[in-house]
Structure 1
């Protein structure tokens, strides 16, 4: 075999390497994974729940700043409800909604109640404020708390807290056990 000249670098390389064996044919590279399917039904259910919630807000009369929140399921004995009204239950957790917008407060409230239920708390306190404004507007957060608590199956009863625990600016909530 003739010796290649220094000018032919490719020939020098092939001579240094020697014979090569071609690689076997491989399958094509995997394509990008398909995007996850959207949970359209869950989104639709959430949207329906929000619109139903809004209709519930529109249907019921609004509470004023000094009004008392009060609700009891038929399964709750009157004596237990009286204890709740008097603040005889110890609140195991507390949520303060001061400064939150309506949407933030709704999200915070739902999350708080889910956590309280998961921890199997019996009684919690929700501070919504009295909503007394100079412009005479309705207490938005107080009305939100009233509507959300009435709609939940895991709420047995609720009542505005005694004066020493927040009065009409807070609510004591009795939760159902699992």
Structure 2
């Protein structure tokens, strides 16, 4: 015969089962409410953006960037380069072709009176600049002389001294550079006259050169 204690335990078990069933029902109801809410939000989003379609693949044209323009070249620089080419000194030129020279290998361009050479020998013009070609090879000396004359002309220099040496250190003691300098100078239009320097100015190892004036009135 069942005791009162057994009936009490059975009643407690029934209450626990009911509580568990209620908890499951509430959980299921909560899940359904969440699903409904998510569905409503999804529908709201689709309704707000309307019909959509995937984008068609398109070919995107490459942007054409402007090509960098070459740096401008100064016209004066080009003119100087062309002048340098035209005024290049030749080693084929010989002093025998000079139109006016003397036994001392002095030189006066045609149209220059003898008094100019006479004044040049006496030191009438003050030597303003000088170029020393000692220790330079022939090609180096030729380039150095050409550049020196161009710069002197731009600065308006009238009288210069070119030191070429006496050739005592050359092979066979021949004054090769000494003769070359005279030939080079005679080829330059800006050179009016030149002569051997006075002993105090270098003697046979140097030349005194008179250049054209940059001013038409002098």
TM-score under structure 2 normalisation?
Answer: 0.55
Report whether the alignment pairs 1:107 with 2:171: no
Could you list the runs of 5+ residues in structure 1 that have no partner in the other structure?
A: 2-21, 62-66
Counterpart of 2:61 in structure 1 is 25
Counterpart of 1:13 in structure 2 is none
Q: Is the 8 A contact 1:68 1:168 kept in 2?
A: no
Could you list the runs of 5+ residues in structure 2 that have no partner in the other structure?
A: 1-37, 39-57, 71-77, 98-102
Counterpart of 1:56 in structure 2 is 93
Q: 1:147 aligns with which of 163, 179, 183?
A: 183
What SS does the corresponding residue of 1:136 show, helix, strand or coil? helix
TM-score under structure 1 normalisation?
Answer: 0.67
Counterpart of 1:71 in structure 2 is 107
Counterpart of 1:159 in structure 2 is 195
Note the C-alpha offset of 1:119: 0.7
Count of residue correspondences: 145
Whichever structure has more helix as a proportion of its residues is 2
Note the C-alpha offset of 1:144: 1.7
User: CA distance change for structure 1 residues 48 and 166 in 2, over 3 Å: closer, same or farther?
Assistant: closer
Note the C-alpha offset of 1:122: 1.0
> Rg: which structure is higher?
2
User: CA distance change for structure 1 residues 134 and 111 in 2, over 3 Å: closer, same or farther?
Assistant: closer
Identify which of structures 1 and 2 has the higher relative contact order when contacts are C-alpha pairs closer than 8 Å and 6+ apart.
1
User: CA distance change for structure 1 residues 87 and 98 in 2, over 3 Å: closer, same or farther?
Assistant: same
